[in-house]
Chains A and B, each alone.
Chain A
Amino acid sequence: MPSDPAKTPSTGQNFVSSRQGLAPSLTTVGFYEEIEHTADLALKCGGPDLDSFFRSAAMGMYHLIGIGKTRPDGTLTQTVALEAMDMESLLVDWLGELAYLAESQNLVIGTIQFQTLSDTRIEAVLTGSRVSRIEKVIKAVTYHNLTIQKTHEGYAATVVFDV
C-alpha cells in the first residue's frame, strides 16, 4: 500500500494535465470499466492509491455519460470541499459533485488538483470548460452495494448510478 495520500497532496501528474485534458488514454495508474446493470449504469473503478482511485472514478463516470473523450481547455476553475462520514460516502459525494457540475453547468473537468485527500475529506481545485451539450444524465450516485475494497493492490469499488 502506498503512503497515506492524505499527507502527500497530489498534483495529478500521472493522470491528467491541463494541457492534455481528461482522456482515457491517460489512465496510467487507475482503471475503470462499465459493467452490466439492467436499469441504470454501473462502473467498476480502482487505483493503487486514493488519488488515482478518485480520479479513475471521475473519469469512468465521464465515460458513462459520453464526455470521456472531451478535451476541456481549462478555462474555468472550481474549488470543491467535501467532508463525509466514511470513504464510501466521500466517493458518492465526489462523483455527485462532478455530475452536478456537468448537469447544471455543462462543466467538464480536465484537471484535478487535490489539496487535501483523505478517507473522509477532499479539497480540490478543478479546472475545465463548458461543453455545448451532454448526452446522458446522471440523476444520482447511489450507495447500492457500495463497498470500497482495500487490498495490497490499492482501492477498488463498483458504483451504481441512477440514470
Chain B
Amino acid sequence: MDLTKLEQISPFTYQIPASWRADMQVPARIVGDPAILEAASADRSLEQLVNTACLPGIVNYALAMPDVHQGYGFPIGGVAATAAPDGVISPGGVGYDINCGVRLLGTHLLREEILPHLDGLISALYAHCPSGVGKGGPIRLKAKELRQVLERGARWALQRGLASDSDLERTEGDGCLAGADAGCVSERALERGRDQIGTLGAGNHFIEVDVVAEVFDATAADRMGLAPDKVVVQIHCGSRGLGHQVCTDYVKRFQKAIHTYGLRLPDRELVCAPLNSPEGRDYLAAMTAAANYAFANRQVLTHAIRHSFEQTLAGKVARHQVFQIYDIAHNMARIETHPVGGRPRKLCVHRKGATRAFGPGSSELPPVYRDIGQPVLVPGSMGTCSWVLRGTQTAMEQTFGSSCHGAGRRLSRRQARKQFKGVTLRRELEHAGIHVMAGSMSGLAEEAPGAYKDVNRVVDVVHGAGIALKVARLVPLAVIKG
C-alpha cells in the first residue's frame, strides 16, 4: 500500500479514504505513527483493514489499533461497528478464541517479600493451572453444570465458591453476559468444554507474575491497588476448545448465509449474517455463551492462583491475599451505544485483538472505577513490560470506546523459530531475573520478546491519541507459558 496516499487526520490517526477501493463502505482509520504505519504496510494488515471496511452495515470507519498486525479476515487490532439490529455480525470479526482476554490480579506484597519464595510459587502455579494443548483441568462438568457455566459465566464460579462478589464486579460485564443460549452451542463444542474449565491452553497464553515498575497516574493507580514495587499477576487466556468450536461452526454455517442474504465480501473469513436473522441471533447467543465460559475459565484460574499463593506463602509472608483489579475481553462482539452522525446509536462493536477502553462516567463500569475510566490491560511480551491504562471520553468519541490489546507481533512464528531457540531464550530470561516455565521450547521461541513490536511505542501512541492514558508499567518476575 502506498502510504503517501493516506490522509493524516490528527497527530496519531491516519485514514484510508472510502474511495481507495470500490467495495469499501466506509473509510478505514489507523491509530498510529509513521513507524507503526510502516510496520503495518510490511504485511497484509492494511489490506485486511480495507476488507473489513467492506462489511455490510459498517458505520463511521473500520479501525486499526497501533498493535495492528496481519490476522485472518479482520487484522489483529481491528475494530468494526455495524448498525444494530439491521447490520451484520461476523464470527471472523471476533475470532476463534472468543473472549480471549486478560485478567489482572493485585496483591499487597512487595517485590522483596516474594523473591525468596518465587521458585516455590511458580512451581505451585504450574501445578495448579494446567496448561498445554488440549489439556483438561481438575473439574469435569456434567451437561447441566456446563449449561450453567455458559449462561452464568463467572457467576457460576461464585455459586461454586470459586469467586467473590468483588471479582465479578471488577470483570467486564460482571463476568456474566446476558443473552447466552447453550442451545445454540453444538454438541462437539460442549464436549470440548467439559473438562477445560480452569485451564490455560497453549500458544500465546500465559500467567505472569509482575511487579509495578512505574506509576504515571497516582490517583488511578491507587484506586486499582497499584503502587511501585507491588506484585501483581496477569492471566491471558480465553474460551479454549469450546470457543474455537463455536466460531468454527458458525463460520461454516455463515458460508451459506451470505448467499441466503445476498451479501458480497472480499474474503470468506469475513462471512456474516444480519443480526436480526436466525443465523445472526444464534451466533450472538452462542458467542455470548462462549464468552461466559471464558470469564468462568479465568475465574477458576484465579482461584487456582489464590490457592498457589496460599500454599506457598501462608505462615511465611503476611497479607498474601490476591484481589482482582480487572478482567477485559479482547476478542468479542458487544451490543453498545455510540455516536454516529452526532446521535447515539445502538451498534454491534466487533473487537478482534482490541479491548474496550470506556471512559469515566460509563454506566458499564463498576462504581470503584466509574470516575477514573475503565482499566485497560495491555500485556507486552515476556521479558519486556506490560501496561495498565485507563479508558477515556476521547475513546468513546473516536474509537467506539476501544484501545490496543498488546504489543502486536513483528516477526512471523517461522522467523521467530529461526532467530530464537527456546532453551537459549529461557536461559537469557533467567539471567535477566525472569523465571520461565514452558511446556514447549519451540512455542517459547515463537513468543520471544524479539518477535513482538515495542509495546512502549504502542502505548505511547494510544496515550498520545488520548484513547487510553498511562496508569502504570509492569515488569515480569516469572512467566508460565502453555
Q: List residues of chain A with CB under 8 Å of any chain B CB.
A: 34-41, 66, 85, 88-89, 92-93, 96, 100, 102-104, 106, 133-137, 139-146, 160, 162-163
Please name all residues of chain A whose beta carbon is closer than 8 Å to the beta carbon of B134 when the two chains form the complex. 102-104, 106, 134, 137
If A89-B252, A92-B252, A142-B72 touch, whether A66 touches B271 (CB-CB below 8 Å) is no
CB atoms of A38 and B443 under 8 A apart: no
Q: Mark B108-142, 1 if CB is under 8 A from A, else 0.
A: 00000000000000000000000011100000000
Please name all residues of chain A whose beta carbon is closer than 8 Å to the beta carbon of B86 when the two chains form the complex. none
Q: Mark B239-253, 1 if CB is under 8 A from A, else 0.
A: 001001101100110
Please name all residues of chain B whose beta carbon is closer than 8 Å to the beta carbon of A102 when the two chains form the complex. 133-134
CB atoms of A137 and B73 under 8 A apart: no
A103 nearest CB neighbor, chain B only: B134
Complex partner residue of B412 from A37, A88, A140, CB under 8 angstroms: A37
CB atoms of B440 and A144 under 8 A apart: no
Complex partner residue of B269 from A34, A134, A143, CB under 8 angstroms: A143
CB atoms of A93 and B70 under 8 A apart: no
If A103-B133, A143-B251 touch, whether A37 touches B268 (CB-CB below 8 Å) is no
If A39-B69, A39-B76, A40-B72 touch, whether A139 touches B43 (CB-CB below 8 Å) is no
Question: Considering the chains assembled together, what is the distance between the CA atoms of A33 and B273 in angstroms?
Answer: 34
CB atoms of A139 and B413 under 8 A apart: no
CB atoms of B413 and A163 under 8 A apart: yes
Complex partner residue of B72 from A36, A93, A104, A162, CB under 8 angstroms: A162
- Pairs A–B under 8 Å by Cβ, sample size 22: A38-B412, A39-B69, A39-B76, A40-B72, A41-B413, A41-B414, A88-B268, A96-B248, A104-B191, A104-B241, A133-B133, A135-B133, A135-B443, A136-B133, A136-B203, A139-B97, A139-B244, A140-B251, A144-B268, A144-B269, A162-B95, A162-B244
Please name all residues of chain B whose beta carbon is closer than 8 Å to the beta carbon of A134 when the two chains form the complex. 133-134
Please name all residues of chain B whose beta carbon is closer than 8 Å to the beta carbon of A133 when the two chains form the complex. 132-133, 439
Whether B256 is near chain A, meaning CB under 8 Å from some CB there, is yes
Q: List residues of chain B with CB under 8 Å of any chain A CB.
A: 43, 45, 69-73, 76, 92, 95-97, 132-134, 188, 191-192, 201-203, 241, 244-245, 247-248, 251-252, 255-256, 267-269, 271, 409-415, 439-440, 442-443
Please name all residues of chain A whose beta carbon is closer than 8 Å to the beta carbon of B271 when the two chains form the complex. 143
Question: Considering the chains assembled together, what is the distance between the CA atoms of A88 and B271 in angstroms?
Answer: 14
Complex partner residue of B252 from A40, A41, A93, A146, CB under 8 angstroms: A93
If A39-B71, A39-B409 touch, whether A142 touches B269 (CB-CB below 8 Å) is yes
A93 nearest CB neighbor, chain B only: B252
Please name all residues of chain A whose beta carbon is closer than 8 Å to the beta carbon of B248 when the two chains form the complex. 96, 140-141
Please name all residues of chain A whose beta carbon is closer than 8 Å to the beta carbon of B415 when the two chains form the complex. 36
- Measured CB to CB, the closest approach of chain B to A55, in angstroms, equals 22
- Measured CB to CB, the closest approach of chain A to B423, in angstroms, equals 14
Question: Considering the chains assembled together, what is the distance between the CA atoms of A37 and B411 in angstroms?
Answer: 8
A sample of 12 more A-B contacts (CB under 8 A), given A102-B134, A162-B72, is: A34-B414, A39-B409, A40-B71, A100-B188, A135-B443, A136-B443, A139-B203, A141-B248, A142-B72, A144-B71, A144-B92, A146-B269
If A88-B268, A143-B269 touch, whether A37 touches B70 (CB-CB below 8 Å) is yes
CB atoms of A135 and B440 under 8 A apart: yes
CB atoms of B443 and A37 under 8 A apart: no
CB atoms of B202 and A136 under 8 A apart: yes
Please name all residues of chain A whose beta carbon is closer than 8 Å to the beta carbon of B43 when the two chains form the complex. 38
Please name all residues of chain A whose beta carbon is closer than 8 Å to the beta carbon of B268 when the two chains form the complex. 88, 143-144, 146
Top 9 nearest A-B pairs (CB, nearest first) are A144-B72, A143-B268, A38-B70, A140-B96, A144-B269, A135-B440, A103-B134, A142-B72, A36-B412
Question: Considering the chains assembled together, what is the distance between the CA atoms of A30 and B358 in angstroms?
Answer: 51
Complex partner residue of B69 from A35, A38, A135, CB under 8 angstroms: A38
Question: Considering the chains assembled together, what is the distance between the CA atoms of A128 and B116 in angstroms?
Answer: 47
Question: Considering the chains assembled together, what is the distance between the CA atoms of A66 and B202 in angstroms?
Answer: 14
CB atoms of A104 and B192 under 8 A apart: yes
- Measured CB to CB, the closest approach of chain B to A88, in angstroms, equals 7
Please name all residues of chain A whose beta carbon is closer than 8 Å to the beta carbon of B70 when the two chains form the complex. 37-39
A142 nearest CB neighbor, chain B only: B72
Question: Considering the chains assembled together, what is the distance between the CA atoms of A106 and B245 in angstroms?
Answer: 17
If A143-B255, A163-B413 touch, whether A136 touches B440 (CB-CB below 8 Å) is yes
Question: Considering the chains assembled together, what is the distance between the CA atoms of A34 and B248 in angstroms?
Answer: 22
- Measured CB to CB, the closest approach of chain A to B130, in angstroms, equals 12
Question: Considering the chains assembled together, what is the distance between the CA atoms of A102 and B411 in angstroms?
Answer: 27
- Measured CB to CB, the closest approach of chain A to B337, in angstroms, equals 30
B410 nearest CB neighbor, chain A only: A38
If A39-B71, A139-B203 touch, whether A103 touches B241 (CB-CB below 8 Å) is yes
Question: Considering the chains assembled together, what is the distance between the CA atoms of A39 and B48 in angstroms?
Answer: 13
Please name all residues of chain A whose beta carbon is closer than 8 Å to the beta carbon of B191 when the two chains form the complex. 104
CB atoms of B244 and A140 under 8 A apart: yes
B441 nearest CB neighbor, chain A only: A135
Question: Considering the chains assembled together, what is the distance between the CA atoms of A37 and B45 in angstroms?
Answer: 11
B48 nearest CB neighbor, chain A only: A144
If A103-B133, A103-B241 touch, whether A144 touches B73 (CB-CB below 8 Å) is yes
- Measured CB to CB, the closest approach of chain B to A66, in angstroms, equals 7
Please name all residues of chain A whose beta carbon is closer than 8 Å to the beta carbon of B76 when the two chains form the complex. 39
B77 nearest CB neighbor, chain A only: A39
Please name all residues of chain A whose beta carbon is closer than 8 Å to the beta carbon of B202 when the two chains form the complex. 135-137
- Measured CB to CB, the closest approach of chain A to B363, in angstroms, equals 34
A41 nearest CB neighbor, chain B only: B413
Complex partner residue of A66 from B201, B410, B442, CB under 8 angstroms: B442
CB atoms of B247 and A135 under 8 A apart: no
If A38-B412, A92-B252, A145-B267 touch, whether A140 touches B241 (CB-CB below 8 Å) is no
